[in-house]
Amino acid sequence: MSDPALRLVADSRELSNDIDEILDAGFRYAFSLSHDGAEAEDLVQDACLAMLTSGAAWDRRYFFATIRNRFIDRFRRSRKVLFLTLDDSDSDSGADLTWEAPDVLESGLLDRALSRLRIEEREALFLAVVEGYTAEEIGRNTDRPRGTILSILHRAKKKLREFLGGDGGVR
Amino acid sequence: MMEPRRIDDQIRDYYRGHRLSDDARARMKAALRTGAVETNGSRWWWTRVAIAAVLLISVTAIALWFAVLRGPAPASPQELASIVVQTAAVGHNEQQELEFRVSRTAELREAMKSLDFTPVEPEVMAKMNMRVVGARYTTIEGVMAAQILYVGPNGEPCTLYELRQVQRLARIPSGEHDVDGLRVSVWREKGLLMVLARPVA
């Protein structure tokens, strides 16, 4: 099936059952980048349109990559600082970063804590914790070495722990 | 009292609680369906995809036009102030990289050509012995703003936001707010809306 039009038709049929799930996953990924519901919705819509016009096969990772590219384009246009270069020196695999915390979800504290993370930290955290990607996979999808991803994840968890209180107390 | 839960589980629940709105979902699925049906046949594929794209953009534009005309209930001045103050505090805490390094406000006027206003130095900065260090472009509530970093005599950083007073933000009351360990002041000067975030003394 080399004809892009036929492939799109077939993909759309196969997709019909999963479309809600893929759109939601894409929205969550976009939200992890922008931390803004309206902007995330725009990103997903842009990405859908881009995939539709390119006739690309509907693949979750490709969809994520399209969303990421759209996000980067928007930031470049608005001349904001996007992803910063981080070194790998902060990685400390010995630290316990799977702590238990009081319910910081309902109180909105987790939302505030996540909003304080850098974009690349939120993105890596989302891909690792929610999507279940390995550091290797995240590195492949974001063009970063595995060590850098581990470092970013470590910093993200460390910042969350500092903000939320690592020993169960919430500040 | 809720039992403590693993932070990863809470992060997972947090993101899984976010879903695309029903409107957006319906719009996107309609676009995908249109693309699938109308692209049956390769000869006219690009033409039909382009038509689908134009239709989608038109529908979105009309929806946006109506949204702007009729719009949601406007936020109260206090809600708007709270959003602006929170944004200023987060921006101060993030300390994102500066786009321009300067030593005088006059240099900012030369550098920040993309602003739709001329950045000025509020009188209070001189009174506080604050020295300008640099600036970057940013937005507050969708309005382009200059985010200007100042440093005090003891090296303490302050972040000043300057933005044009668009109609929507004109209702924000002047005043001081304490948020996230910062004191955020809002006032108007020289025709601009000023928002200053600084550590609580």
Q: Are residues B61 and B81 in the same domain?
A: no
**A131 vs A79: which has the higher pLDDT:** A131
What does the alpha-carbon distance between residue A143 and residue A138 come to, in Å, rounded to a whole number?
A: 8
Tell me whether residues B15 and A130 touch, CB distance under 8 A.
yes
User: Would you state the pLDDT for residue A5?
Assistant: 38
Q: Are residues B86 and B144 in the same domain?
A: yes
Lowest mean pLDDT among A54-63, B12-21, B127-136: A54-63
Tens digits of residue pLDDT in A117-128: 999 999 999 999
| Most B-contacting residue of A2, A7, A12 (CB-CB within 10 A), to test interface | A12
Q: Are residues B104 and B29 in the same domain?
A: no
Tell me whether residues B36 and A101 touch, CB distance under 8 A.
no
Q: Are residues B30 and B115 in the same domain?
A: no
Q: Are residues B114 and B143 in the same domain?
A: yes
* Residues A60-67: contacts with CB under 8 Å, at least 24 apart: A60/A22, A60/A25, A61/A141, A63/A22, A63/A25, A63/A26, A64/A25, A64/A26, A64/A29, A64/A141, A65/A141, A67/A26, A67/A29, A67/A30, A67/A33, A67/A43
Residue B181: closest C-alpha in chain A: A171
Chain A residues whose beta carbon lies within 8 Å of the beta carbon of residue B17: 105
The answer, yes or no, to whether residue A4 has pLDDT greater than 60, is: no
Is B157 an interface residue toward A (CB < 8 Å)? no
Contact A26, A67 (CB under 8 A): yes
Res. A8 pLDDT band, cuts 50 70 90: very low
Q: Are residues B52 and B99 in the same domain?
A: no
Tell me whether residues A8 and B24 touch, CB distance under 8 A.
no
What does the alpha-carbon distance between residue A149 and residue A91 come to, in Å, rounded to a whole number?
A: 9
- CATH assignment at residue B103: 3.30.200
Tell me whether residues B20 and A44 touch, CB distance under 8 A.
yes
Tell me whether residues A116 and B13 touch, CB distance under 8 A.
no
| Most A-contacting residue of B5, B7, B13 (CB-CB within 10 A), to test interface | B7
Chain B residues whose beta carbon lies within 8 Å of the beta carbon of residue A20: 25
- For chain B, what is the domain count? 2
* Residues B65-68: contacts with CB under 8 Å, at least 24 apart: none
Q: Are residues B114 and B35 in the same domain?
A: no
Among B47, B69, B91, residue at a domain's last position: B69
Tens digits of residue pLDDT in A33-46: 999 999 999 999 88
Q: Is B89 helix (H, G, I), strand (E, B) or coil?
A: helix
Rounded to the nearest 10 degrees, how much is the dihedral formed by the CA atoms of B175, B194, B167, B191? 110
Chain A residues whose beta carbon lies within 8 Å of the beta carbon of residue B53: 49, 52-53
The answer, yes or no, to whether residue A149 has pLDDT greater than 70, is: yes
In a domain, B2, yes or no: no
In a domain, B1, yes or no: no
Q: Are residues B51 and B87 in the same domain?
A: no
Rounded mean pLDDT of chain A? Answer: 78
The answer, yes or no, to whether residue A6 has pLDDT greater than 70, is: no
Mean per-residue pLDDT, A18-31: 90
Q: Are residues B192 and B98 in the same domain?
A: yes
Tokens of B109: 């006027």
pTM attached to this predicted model = 0.49
Q: Are residues B56 and B93 in the same domain?
A: no
In degrees rounded to 5, what are phi and psi of residue B154? -100, 15
Res. B180 pLDDT band, cuts 50 70 90: confident
Among B48, B69, B90, residue at a domain's last position: B69
Host H or E run for residue A152 = helix A146-164
Among B69, B87, B108, residue at a domain's last position: B69
Is B11 an interface residue toward A (CB < 8 Å)? yes
Host H or E run for residue A42 = helix A37-54
H-type alpha helices, B17-111: 22-38, 45-70, 77-94, 105-111
- Strand B157-164: give its sheet, edge to edge: B100-101, B131-140, B143-151, B157-164, B192-199, B182-189, B175-179
Structural domain span for residue B65? 7-69
In a domain, B178, yes or no: yes
Nearest to A123 by CA among B23, B11, B44, B28: B11
Chain B residues whose beta carbon lies within 8 Å of the beta carbon of residue A3: 42
B75 secondary structure, DSSP code: P
Q: Are residues B47 and B99 in the same domain?
A: no
Q: Are residues B64 and B128 in the same domain?
A: no
In a domain, B35, yes or no: yes
In a domain, B58, yes or no: yes
Tens digits of residue pLDDT in B42-93: 445 666 777 888 889 988 888 888 777 766 666 788 888 888 999 999 989 8
The nearest CA of chain A is from the CA of B16 a distance in Å of: 7
Chain A residues whose beta carbon lies within 8 Å of the beta carbon of residue B24: 41, 44-45
Residue type, A133: Y
Number of H helices and number of E strands within chain A? 8, 1
Tokens of B125: 């900065």
